[in-house]
A = this chain, B = another copy of it.
């Protein structure tokens, strides 16, 4: 039993029309914002708060669930409720697919992670031909079947990104793009070797709450949205040669774009 450090949390205002569980959530949120509870630190247990505020346990749990929804805290069964630490963020610069970054052998993800001192990892590789979804078909210009390359990226064991590349079969079939390992410089390097000179990319960005599947594959804590990025690569003839659908844990990413003012 850890008796509540005094002064950390105030009292309830019975005259307020703000719901009790909201008042409790407010006080905890403020305490966190002010740094009275630090990152990774354990909050008072449900029992502590029940005693402190003189409310029932469900009320306390209700306030915790508010904070969980905001992504501020996370609960660990048998241990307690903790202030959610912010993971190291990965910056994605808009020039990350520029030709000059494609010269060396290793993939951008590996190089970048190594430089940042974290341990990168790529898994659940799947490369297969399949039927194109409506959306993908539209983006690639009415193709029926595509080559799909699926992979998951991890940093220090934590999954941060799940991506699928789709390519028209007439481009990818029988090439190294259809292999597990696309070779140095990645599939963009292979595309250019095959004569599909890249002209520009278009990226579409959305943010939303993850589906249950995404929660699983990215091991997302509750209250963490995902960034959904769809990139289409066009060659110099204006043809869409690849669509890459990426779902990222939003708390692990900052996207950065450089735009001309012209």
Contacts of A257 in B (CB 8 A): 94, 202-203, 205, 257, 259
Please state if A200 and B259 are interface contacts (CB–CB under 8 Å): yes
Digitize A205-240: 1 where CB-to-B-CB distance is under 8 Å, 0 elsewhere.
111111110000000001111110000010000000
Please state if A208 and B251 are interface contacts (CB–CB under 8 Å): yes
A70 CB-CB contact with B under 8 Å: yes
Closest 10 pairs between A and B when the two form their complex, measured CB to CB: A207-B207, A225-B225, A198-B261, A207-B250, A205-B255, A201-B259, A71-B209, A203-B257, A207-B225, A70-B209
Q: A252: shortest Cβ distance to chain B, in Å?
A: 10
Q: How far is the CA of A251 from the CA of B69 in the complex (A)?
A: 17
Chain A interface residue count, Cβ-Cβ cutoff 8 angstroms: 46
Seen from chain A, the residues whose Cβ lies within 8 Å of a Cβ on chain B are: 26, 29, 58, 65, 69-71, 94-95, 97-99, 198-212, 222-227, 233, 250-251, 253-262
Q: How far is the CA of A233 from the CA of B257 in the complex (A)?
A: 12
Q: A27: shortest Cβ distance to chain B, in Å?
A: 13
Interface centre among A26, A58, A260 (most CB of B within 10 A): A260
Please state if B251 and A202 are interface contacts (CB–CB under 8 Å): no
Please state if A256 and B202 are interface contacts (CB–CB under 8 Å): yes
Could you list 19 examples of A-B contacts with CB < 8 Å? A29-B212, A58-B58, A70-B210, A70-B211, A95-B259, A97-B259, A99-B262, A200-B261, A202-B256, A204-B254, A204-B255, A205-B254, A205-B255, A205-B257, A206-B254, A207-B207, A209-B225, A225-B250, A257-B257
Q: How far is the CA of A254 from the CA of B230 in the complex (A)?
A: 11
Contacts of A198 in B (CB 8 A): 261
Q: A257: shortest Cβ distance to chain B, in Å?
A: 5
Please state if A258 and B209 are interface contacts (CB–CB under 8 Å): no
A259 in contact with B206 given A70-B211, A250-B225 (CB within 8 Å): no
Residue of B nearest to A201 (CB): B259
Interface centre among A202, A206, A224 (most CB of B within 10 A): A206
A225 in contact with B202 given A69-B69, A233-B261 (CB within 8 Å): no
